[in-house]
Amino acid sequence: MFSTVNVIITFLLLSVTNAFTTSSHQTTLPRADHSSTMKMSFFDDMGKFFDNLGGGDEESGASSEVEIVDGAYTGSKRIISIPAKTMKMGGLRLYCNLYLMGVQNTPEPGCWKASKSDDSEVNLRYVDLSGSIIIQFSEECITVDRLGSSPSNKYLMHESMILNGFLDELNSIVYEGSVSEEKRLLTLPEPGNQLEEARDAISFG
């Protein structure tokens, strides 16, 4: 009797050990690398943008592997959040995405790599790989996050230039020209100082 019980216990322990070993082995398999979404060229991005606004490609599938926390990638830091009073989503995203795709050589050639994982997001990855800018559009707001725990000083300086230019574009959309408020791509809640607050948040120095 005692010998039989020992055999059964030994068998169960071996089965459990083998299960954990198999599970541990499976978790070491390589996963899709989110950085692969950053490798598309400017013209590839533009082509996808006009063909189908970036939906349903392999790169967007890779980006879904990254854990999302409160609307931002894990490890990212919220830099700017601009609430919207009204927003014409399609037109605003098109305008802003085209602008962001066009600043990849600002202020130095090849210092940024731009990619769109879907309609609502543009990523600008810095050449030294120390950080990325993630700009997201929703019906309620525009948010800007920084992904990178130890961005270089050069990254921070160039990030400030990119985001100040982006805020200039938003300012022109909201306030400049003779377009009536109901036809503007973006309007802001009163008192309307959100852009200046955002500019203070990205000041380099």
List the pLDDT tens digit at each of the 205 positions of the chain: 545 545 455 554 445 445 444 444 443 333 434 443 333 344 444 444 444 444 444 444 444 444 444 446 888 999 999 999 999 988 998 898 889 889 999 999 999 998 876 777 889 999 999 999 999 998 899 999 999 989 999 999 999 999 999 999 999 999 999 989 999 999 999 887 899 999 998 866 4
Sorted by sequence, the CB contacts under 8 Å of residue 28 that are 6+ apart come out as none
Per-residue model confidence (pLDDT) at position 74: 83
Burial label for 171, CB within 10 Å (0-12, 13-18, 19+), is middle
The answer to whether 100 and 172 are in contact (CB under 8 A) is no
Phi, psi of 178 (to 5 degrees): -105, 20
Residue 117 near residue 53 (C-beta atoms within 8 A): no
Question: Quick count: other Cβ atoms within 10 Å of Cβ 21?
Answer: 10
Residues constituting the chain = 205
The predicted pLDDT at position 129 comes to 94
> What tokens does 88 get?
């014409």
Q: How many CB atoms lie within 10 A of CB 111?
A: 19
Which among 134, 128, 124, 135 is positioned nearest to 155, based on CA atoms?
Answer: 128
pTM: predicted TM-score of the whole model, two decimal places = 0.64
Domains and CATH numbers, the chain: 34-201 (3.30.530)
Q: Which pLDDT belongs to residue 89?
A: 87
